[in-house]
Amino acid sequence: MRLSLPTIFSFAVASAALPQPHGPPDPDSPKPFSTFSNRVIWTPPKGGRAMYPRHAELRDGTLLVTANVFGLTGGPGNLPIFPIFESKDGGVTFQWISNLTDQVNGWGMVAQPALYELRKPLGGFKSGTILASGNSWSNNGTRIDLYASTDKARTWQFVSHVAAGGRPNTTNGATPVWEPFLLAYEDELIVYYSDQRDPKHGQKLAHQRSRDLKTWGPVVNDVAYDEYLARPGMTVVAYIPPLKKWILVYELPVGNSSSHGVNYPVHYRLADDPRKFDSAEHIPIVINTKNGTVAPNASPYVVWSPVGGPKGTIVVSDADRSAVYVNTAGADPDKWEIKEVGQPEAYSRALHVFEKRPEHLMVLGGDTFDGNGVGALVNSVLDVRKVLDGDWKPEPDPKPPACKAA
């Protein structure tokens, strides 16, 4: 979660790169399961903003997509909701199939959604059950809640409160929780999240686990720094089969400090066990290009594709570039590269490698943190081999200079 900054209305995206709105049936529409660039999935109601998209690929190849949408309300009390979209053709076309609404707090599903399909029975739910989480909040608190759908995301039932904290407030010393990420592992569900409740840390990353999805074990640290001002945030975890290791990516703002020109430098940790990141080494992603040093900034995502060599390709996204960061050398810290993908920068973009077409990488985007004036939910599907072969061409920074402190 970024510290609140004065909103800079930055039209950082070149107009040529703006997604085109969906019209009536499009004769040039990409073929099912093909690659394509920068299509609109859905445009929120006027003035609305879709960001922080999340997704799950179901066993049958169906893709579910949701997002944090400012300006979309519905359900009991007309509160914020997560819209759920379904694609049966590899992300080319989508249908709006349901809304995840807050059934218990009277606060709405406000931000930071997560989706996950169970591939084994867990907690009394069958394989194929879809789990959803997110941050339900009001001025009275933040709650990371768990919901389940046993009918392919058509309807949702509340399962449990995973973690609860103080009202949403990114100031150190406040006590909210943020940004869940779901992973089933060894007959437990792991819910990772960002946690400001521990007085020893401005913010840390932690998880809780459950076998029955109702009762949650103790808070286990994943990333926590002795430096109080450090605010590791926004956990995303992926498995890297050739290394037999799990990777956790996160942003790491520390007060107002800057590292390689960015304030929310992206770091990663590797662990044999996704419950044991706390003791793992922390590694920043820094790339030496002919044009100097490049460092990803804020709201990272990570996936792995088997394409790209014996160790496959780790792909990381950030908030500030349309490009992605790739590593075909088994996460070697010195071997990151930057590659253009042409899907505009967005706050907390998500990445996906299709299970049956692992050479296809989806980049799922939306609005930037400060608002790019588009606000639509958008995606691209790219061939990983072409991404690896491609060149990244640095552009002059289009953003206005950062606000100077008064």
Ligand X SMILES: *[C@@H]1O[C@H](CO)[C@@H](O)[C@H](O)[C@H]1NC(C)=O
**Cβ(369)–Cβ(2) below 8 Å:** yes
Q: Mask of contacts with ligand X, 58-87, x by CB under 6 A?
A: ----------------x------x-x----
Maximum separation of any 2 CA atoms in the chain, in Å: 58
Helices (H), 119-222: none
Minimal distance, residue 227 CB to ligand X, in Å:
11
**Beta-carbon neighbour count of residue 152 at 10 Å?**
17
Nearer to ligand X, 45 or 124 (CB): 45
Q: Which is nearer to ligand X, 5 or 309 (CB)?
A: 5
Question: Which range in 99-107, 262-270, 336-344, 379-387 contacts ligand X by CB under 6 A?
Answer: 99-107
Q: Which of 169, 221, 258, 259 binds ligand X (CB under 6 A)?
A: 169
Stretch of 29-37, 48-56, 167-175, 236-244 contacting ligand X, by CB under 6 A: 167-175
Q: Which of 10, 34, 37, 99 binds ligand X (CB under 6 A)?
A: 99
Instruction: Rule CB under 6 A: say whether 256 interacts with ligand X.
Output: yes
Q: Could you give the string, one character per residue 131-160, with x where binding to ligand X holds by CB under 6 A and - elsewhere?
A: -------x-x--------------------
Q: How far is the CB of 281 from ligand X (least distance, A)?
A: 25
* 395 Cβ neighbours under 8 A, 6+ residues apart: none
Q: What angle do CA 74, 77, 78 make, to 5 degrees?
A: 25
Cβ closest to ligand X, residue 95 vs residue 127:
95
The residue type at 401: P
Q: Cα 280 vs. chain centroid, distance in angstroms?
A: 22
Between CA 203 and CA 201 the distance in angstroms is 5
What size, in residues, is the chain? 406
Q: Which of 106, 121, 241, 309 lies at the binding interface for ligand X (CB under 6 A)?
A: 106
Q: With beta carbons less than 8 A apart as the criterion, state whether 354 and 92 touch.
A: no
Q: Does 403 bind ligand X (CB under 6 A)?
A: no
Q: How many residues bind ligand X (CB under 6 A)?
A: 24
Residue 255 in the binding site for ligand X (CB under 6 A): yes
**What gap in Å lies between CA 1 and CA 199, rounded to an integer?**
18
CA gap 65, 55 in Å, rounded = 4
Q: Work out how close the CB of 141 gets to ligand X at its nearest, in angstroms, rounded to a whole number.
A: 8
> CA 97 to CA 323: how far, in whole Å?
31
Strand pairing partners for 115? 132
Q: 């029975």: which residue's tokens?
A: 121
Q: Are 50 and 68 in contact (CB under 8 A)?
A: yes
The answer to whether 396 contacts ligand X (rule: CB under 6 A) is yes
> Per rule CB under 6 A, is residue 171 in the interface with ligand X?
yes
Which region, judged by CB under 6 A, interacts with ligand X, from 90-98, 265-273, 303-311, 318-326?
90-98
Cβ closest to ligand X, residue 44 vs residue 274: 44
Report the C-alpha gap between 1 and 179 in whole angstroms.
Answer: 8
Is there binding between residue 243 and ligand X (CB under 6 A)? Answer: no
Candidates 291, 333, 356, 402; binder of ligand X (CB under 6 A) is 291
Nearest Cα to Cα of residue 206 among 158, 152, 277 = 277
Query: Segment contacting ligand X (CB under 6 A): 63-71, 166-174, 278-286, 336-344?
Result: 166-174
Where along the sequence are the contacts to ligand X (CB under 6 A)?
A: 74, 81, 83, 96-99, 106-107, 138, 140, 167, 169, 171, 173-174, 229, 255-256, 290-291, 394, 396, 405
